[in-house]
Structure 1
Amino acid sequence: MNRGDFHTEFCNKGPVVLPVIHVLDEAQAEKNVQVAIDCGCPGVFLINHDFEKEKLVPIIRSIRGKFPDYWIGVNFLAVTGKTAFPILDELQRDGVRVDSYWADDARIDERRGENDQVEATEIDRIRQQSGWEGLYIGGTCFKKQREVDPSQYGYCARLACNHMDVVLTSGVATGHATDLGKIETFRKNCGDTALGIASGVTPENANDYSDDVDLFMVATGINLEGDFYNIDPARLKQLMTITKR
């Protein structure tokens, strides 16, 4: 997706902030979605960090029913689009809109040529066959995945642009800020494709990334201190103020 189109979709010229809610149950998810709305966030992601994806599906249905017009994305932890897109299509056919799927690993393989991205191409095919209409955000050189030599970051970024709407990368682990050099390399090689980061963004360092990054997917940087599951409204409002400025 073109950077300009991405920002237009969210009516924001700066990085778009989409909090990631580590779901425990329906009530906790609902509470945190409401916090995001109250803080002016354009959307959220729901992720099943502590249980299997099958338990997240009814929560998605319930949350969509309570927030019918809000932008809601989903991550099934460690599940590629190959498995996720048919599930999302089933939800869509049932009238349950999921606006985006974030895959931790988009299966970009720097050891293969541009026209030999077997797994990523298979995911593309399944996405098209499924009929699901949402935004696909794909983890590339991402935390907890196979380690990629930094010399290959640029090539990975170029490959990724062929297979997803928004290219997403991260630091070495949850809560660890993404190396600025890595982001510079990704920005240069993504060209005009939207780029996001999904670890270590805080109100304190957001300005370091704001020129090159279009999307901040953030959890620990805006959560209550020592709390993996609940948003701190004050920190989220602070981050929103910075990105709008």
Structure 2
Amino acid sequence: MTHQDFTTALRGPETLVTPVIHVLDAGQALRNLDTVDAAGCPGAFLINHDFSMEEFLPILKEIRAARPDLWLGVNFLDQPGDIAFPILGQLARDGCQIDAYWADDARIDERVEKQDIADDIARIRKQSGWTGVYLGGVAFKKQRPVPEEQYARAARFSVPYLDVVTTSGIATGHEADLSKIETFRNAIGDAPLALASGITPENAAEYCGLVNCFLVATGINHPGDFYNIDPARLDTLLAITRKQGETV
């Protein structure tokens, strides 16, 4: 799947499922990516919870060399776009194309009209030469708290800067309040919206009509396992999103 194919699919009736793999090493990541590919997901995100970004880069290159055609997104833990985009641009020049970047914090400030930091990130993204899809966290877990009454403003401000507006519940594994997602959807109109915490096969149907993409990890992993996808739970989640896509 190309960047353009993914962007087009986001506009379709089915909520996309892009599993998030907490990487330990290349072998563990590749085994999980094969599970994702076999299930028919468009691709997956890789994240470095257990080591530094610098240690992550050679692992990414190894994974990309082993799976040159697989759609791969990345989250460099706690790194905003101004740090990530130059690195992604260099990776691409080195032959390691990353298809999407998900930043925990898009640096949108709902308290002010002028988005100086987001403007700087947009400039750095353009200068980097990286051409992938940008998902940015807005009112996102573990970031500066945004008051509920400012959700709509934060979401609306983020649209010009992001390919996919991305939000979450209060923490990893915690489902988002449905009213928050409804507020985001109303604020951003038909712009793509992703949800990045708390999705499970048991609750996914509540969000399908509001969200274009699920970024999901613990909700489809083996019980008590932070690192490995349970193929049965992934298949169950996909059955729900595909059914929703057929009935819209």
TM-score range, shorter chain: over 0.9
TM-score, normalised via structure 2 length:
0.94
User: Which blocks of at least 5 consecutive residues in structure 1 are unaligned?
Assistant: none
* Equivalent position SS for 1:32: helix
Match of 2:187, as an amino acid? N
* Equivalent position SS for 2:190: coil
Equivalent of 2:118 in 110, 117, 120: 120
* Equivalent position SS for 2:136: strand
> 1:99-129, CA deviations, whole angstroms, 9 ceiling, x for partnerless residues?
000000000001111xx11111110000001
Equivalent of 2:212 in 198, 211, 214: 214
| Other-structure match for 1:80 | 80
Q: Distance in 2 between matches of 1:7 and 1:81?
A: 19
* Equivalent position SS for 2:55: helix
Q: How far 1:13 sits from its partner (Å)?
A: 2.7
Q: How far 1:12 sits from its partner (Å)?
A: 5.5
TM-score, normalised via structure 1 length:
0.95
Match of 2:194, as an amino acid? G
Q: How far 1:11 sits from its partner (Å)?
A: 9.0
Runs (4+) of structure 1 moved beyond 6 Å? none
Indicate conservation of the 8 Å contact 1:166/1:196, yes or no: yes
Q: Distance in 1 between matches of 2:24 and 2:189?
A: 38
1:1-245 to structure 2, matched below 5 A, reads: 8-9=8-9, 13-113=13-113, 116-245=114-243
Q: Distance in 2 between matches of 1:208 and 1:62?
A: 38
Indicate conservation of the 8 Å contact 1:6/1:194, yes or no: no
* Equivalent position SS for 1:62: helix
Q: Taking structure 1 as reference, are residues 188 and 11 closer, same or farther at Cα in structure 2, changes over 3 Å only?
A: closer
> 1:134-154, CA deviations, whole angstroms, 9 ceiling, x for partnerless residues?
000000000000111000000
Match of 1:208, as an amino acid? E
Q: Taking structure 1 as reference, are residues 12 and 233 closer, same or farther at Cα in structure 2, changes over 3 Å only?
A: farther
Q: How far 1:8 sits from its partner (Å)?
A: 2.9
Indicate conservation of the 8 Å contact 2:11/2:212, yes or no: no
> 1:49-87, CA deviations, whole angstroms, 9 ceiling, x for partnerless residues?
011001111111111111111100000000000000000
* Equivalent position SS for 1:161: helix
Match of 1:167, as an amino acid? V
Q: Distance in 2 between matches of 1:177 and 1:201?
A: 6
* Equivalent position SS for 1:221: helix
When the two chains are superposed, the root-mean-square deviation of aligned CA atoms in Å is 1.3
Q: How far 1:10 sits from its partner (Å)?
A: 6.2
Match of 2:69, as an amino acid? D
Indicate conservation of the 8 Å contact 1:7/1:214, yes or no: no
Q: Taking structure 1 as reference, are residues 159 and 207 closer, same or farther at Cα in structure 2, changes over 3 Å only?
A: same
Tell me the percent identity: 57
Match of 1:221, as an amino acid? G
